[in-house]
Amino acid sequence: MDSQLLPVLLLLLLGASGPWGQGQGPEGSSEELLEEPPEEQVPREDGILVLSRRTLGLALREHPALLVEFYAPWCGHCKALAPEYRKAAVLLADTSVPAVLAKVDGPAEPELTEEFGVTEYPTLKFFRDGKRTDPEEYTGDKDVATFLALAQDALDMTFGLTDRPQLFQKFDLTNDTVVLLKKFDEGRADFPPLPLQTSPKIFAARILNHLLLFVNQTLAPHRELLAGFREAAPPFRGQVLFVLVDVSADNDHVLQYFGLKAEAAPTLRLVNIETTEKYALADGEPVTAASVAAFCHAVLGGHIQPYLLSQEVPPDWDQRPVKTLVGKNFEQVAFDETKNVFVKFYAPWCAHCREMAPAWEALAEKYQDHEDIVIAELDATANELEGLPVRSFPTLKYFPAGPGRKVRREGWGEPGPPSQAPDPGRVLGGARDPQPTCPLPGHGEQAPVNPDLP
């Protein structure tokens, strides 16, 4: 996690405290209010409330703004989040703001994980006004842009961006600064400069369609496009979130996600973060207020088809025991009616995938003389497949021989280390469905399957 998200996490909670202010009581049934005896205290650890089924109701009554992390002790992503979460809790404890951080040990509190639909770790849920029902879930990556989007959507706060010298002078600013204007206490809080890293899968806002304008802000012709981009935005409020991506900054991850290079700017891309479908403005189309509006209308109206990323087919894709698949040769191989095809969908950065690689190679070597069995892999960060979303790494999908486009056995093998690859023989024989281990950016680690569940 980027250490610079800490000020914005605080910004989120500081802003959250304002609307509740002066003694608003929690809403809920009398049964909830009587769930815990009033004398019981909620334990704290490093400034973080440690919640259980017995103490959640009490914490909601006492704290109108409560950010709760559902974690698992074995989860690597939870361990990575922990230091920043602790820092934020300590800093909040030194303020008079009625906003606190809390955590729930998911495996130890199955009733709470079931009540709030927790299926992966870490899961962050934001409880407002003491309400136990319908907390707002934060599902994006843990960086600045995500928290800003979350705050804007969840708290109905207004965010703006300006480069006007007169406003810098009015607020006595000399550097890039995040300024929080409040209707309580001192009325203003300044936060240090923050790199607003923009990513297409990070926004936790309920607006599902995100329109990204890629420009190089060091070039005057590109900067001139911003006025038209802003002009086109108001009619799409609530439907499309307009996002600016500066390709001259550290936004390589965003470019990679859309299959772009910096030289492609200026250009537009629209992504639906629920379906992950991506849309592109026609090549050569100028970026103007009119073209931006027309593009949005066309996508929302279903008049433009989404595009799918694909690498080029390597010349030696079928020369190794593990066959290399990309978007352009996937259907030809996976849906070959004469072959049983087992595919590992991986991400180059995924530690679980790297740990699994030797076992997957050994598996392929074991079956390389079986003409009806193919062991393959596909880099799911650079290749997209229609109707086959991949949300965790490694994800394994088995495509059995025979007519029809069949897919079976999705996920990752029985609970255990990724270094133990499942055997196609067991899959063909009806082994239990696999289980994913490493999430996409923006997703948490999934909880291990309980073998006792149906």
pLDDT per residue as tens digits for the range 349-402: 788 888 889 999 999 999 999 999 999 999 988 888 887 877 778 888 889 888
The three-class DSSP label of residue 66 is strand
Q: Are residues 219 and 294 in the same domain?
A: yes
Q: Are residues 331 and 412 in the same domain?
A: yes
Q: Report the pLDDT value the prediction gives residue 206, as an integer from 0 to 100.
A: 61
Q: Report the pLDDT value the prediction gives residue 190, as an integer from 0 to 100.
A: 66
Per-residue pLDDT tens digits for 182-228: 554 456 666 655 444 444 334 444 678 999 999 999 999 999 999 99
Q: What whole-number distance in Å separates Cα of residue 344 and Cα of residue 356?
A: 10
pTM of the model: 0.46
Per-residue pLDDT tens digits for 130-170: 888 888 876 554 543 343 344 344 444 555 667 788 888 88
End-to-end Cα, the chain, rounded Å: 36
Q: Are residues 97 and 238 in the same domain?
A: no
The CA–CA distances, whole Å, from 10 to 129, 146, 431 equal 18, 13, 47
Question: In terms of Cα–Cα distance, which of 51, 119, 46, 135 is closest to 82?
Answer: 46
Q: Are residues 256 and 329 in the same domain?
A: no
Phi-psi domain of 100 (left: phi exceeds 0; alpha: psi -120 through 50; beta: other): beta
Q: Are residues 234 and 365 in the same domain?
A: no
Q: Are residues 241 and 379 in the same domain?
A: no
Label residue 428 by pLDDT band (50, 70, 90). very low
Q: State how many domains the chain has.
A: 3
* 149: containing domain: 5-163
Q: Are residues 47 and 147 in the same domain?
A: yes
Question: In terms of Cα–Cα distance, which of 97, 94, 98, 125 is closest to 112?
Answer: 125
Whether residue 112 is predicted with pLDDT greater than 90 in this model: the reply is yes
Phi-psi domain of 181 (left: phi exceeds 0; alpha: psi -120 through 50; beta: other): beta
Looking at 327-446, list the stretches that DSSP marks H as alpha helix, in order from N- to C-terminal side.
Answer: 330-334, 351-366, 424-428
For residue 216, tell me if it sits in a domain: yes
The CA–CA distances, whole Å, from 265 to 21, 80, 82, 198, 306 equal 45, 34, 38, 15, 19
What are the structure tokens assigned to 212, written together? 């990204």
> Phi, psi at residue 197, to the nearest 5°?
-75, 125
- By the 8 A CB rule, do 137 and 148 touch? no
- By the 8 A CB rule, do 385 and 327 touch? yes
- By the 8 A CB rule, do 268 and 214 touch? yes
DSSP string, 405-451: ---EEEE--SSS-TTSPPPHHHHHTTPPPP---EEPTT--EEPPP-T
For residue 290, tell me if it sits in a domain: yes
Label residue 344 by pLDDT band (50, 70, 90). very high
What are the structure tokens assigned to 228, written together? 């038209």
Cα 132–Cα 13–Cα 61 angle in degrees, nearest 5: 30
Spatial CB neighbours of 231, under 8 Å, sequence gap ≥ 6: 289
Q: Are residues 139 and 288 in the same domain?
A: no
Q: What percent of the chain has pLDDT over 70?
A: 67
Q: Are residues 343 and 427 in the same domain?
A: yes
Number of neighbours of residue 357 by Cβ within 10 angstroms: 18
For residue 312, tell me if it sits in a domain: no
Q: Are residues 148 and 31 in the same domain?
A: yes
Q: What whole-number distance in Å separates Cα of residue 307 and Cα of residue 90?
A: 46
Per-residue pLDDT tens digits for 13-37: 544 444 333 333 334 333 343 444 4
The average confidence (pLDDT) of the chain is: 74
- By the 8 A CB rule, do 86 and 46 touch? yes
What are the structure tokens assigned to 17, written together? 């405290």
What are the structure tokens assigned to 29, written together? 């049934």
For residue 106, tell me if it sits in a domain: yes
CA quadruple 287, 293, 299, 304: dihedral sign: negative
Per-residue pLDDT tens digits for 63-93: 888 889 999 888 888 887 888 777 777 766 6
Mean pLDDT, residues 286-303? 94
Spatial CB neighbours of 42, under 8 Å, sequence gap ≥ 6: 49, 50, 51, 55, 58, 59, 62
Q: Report the pLDDT value the prediction gives residue 162, as an integer from 0 to 100.
A: 76
Q: Report the pLDDT value the prediction gives residue 186, as an integer from 0 to 100.
A: 55
Strand bridging mode 65-71 / 123-128? antiparallel
Low-confidence winner among 12-21, 47-56, 251-260 (lowest mean pLDDT): 12-21
Q: What percent of the chain has pLDDT over 90?
A: 27
Q: Are residues 287 and 432 in the same domain?
A: no
Q: Are residues 159 and 13 in the same domain?
A: yes
Number of neighbours of residue 400 by Cβ within 10 angstroms: 16
- By the 8 A CB rule, do 179 and 188 touch? yes
For residue 338, tell me if it sits in a domain: yes
CATH number of the domain that 341 lies in?
3.40.30.10
Catalytic residues: 75, 78, 350, 353
* Helix (H), strand (E), coil (C) string for 180-196: EECCCCCCEEEECCCCC
Q: Report the pLDDT value the prediction gives residue 446, as an integer from 0 to 100.
A: 39
Low-confidence winner among 126-130, 284-288, 300-304 (lowest mean pLDDT): 126-130
* Helix or strand (DSSP H, E) at 157: none
Residue 212, exposed/middle/buried by CB under 10 A (0-12, 13-18, 19+)?
A: buried
The b-or-e profile of 70-107 (16+ CB within 10 A means b, else e) is: bbbeebebbeebbebbebbbebbeeeebbbbbbbbbbb
Whether residue 413 is predicted with pLDDT greater than 50 in this model: the reply is no
Question: In terms of Cα–Cα distance, which of 340, 416, 350, 403 is closest to 375?
Answer: 340
Spatial CB neighbours of 277, under 8 Å, sequence gap ≥ 6: 271, 306
What are the structure tokens assigned to 272, written together? 């639906």
Rounded to whole angstroms, the maximal C-alpha distance in the chain is: 75
Whether residue 50 is predicted with pLDDT greater than 90 in this model: the reply is yes
Q: What whole-number distance in Å separates Cα of residue 44 and Cα of residue 269?
A: 45
Strand bridging mode 48-50 / 44-45? antiparallel
Give the helix, strand, coil percentages of the chain, each rounded to 5.
30, 20, 50
State which of 129, 163, 197 marks the end of a domain.
163
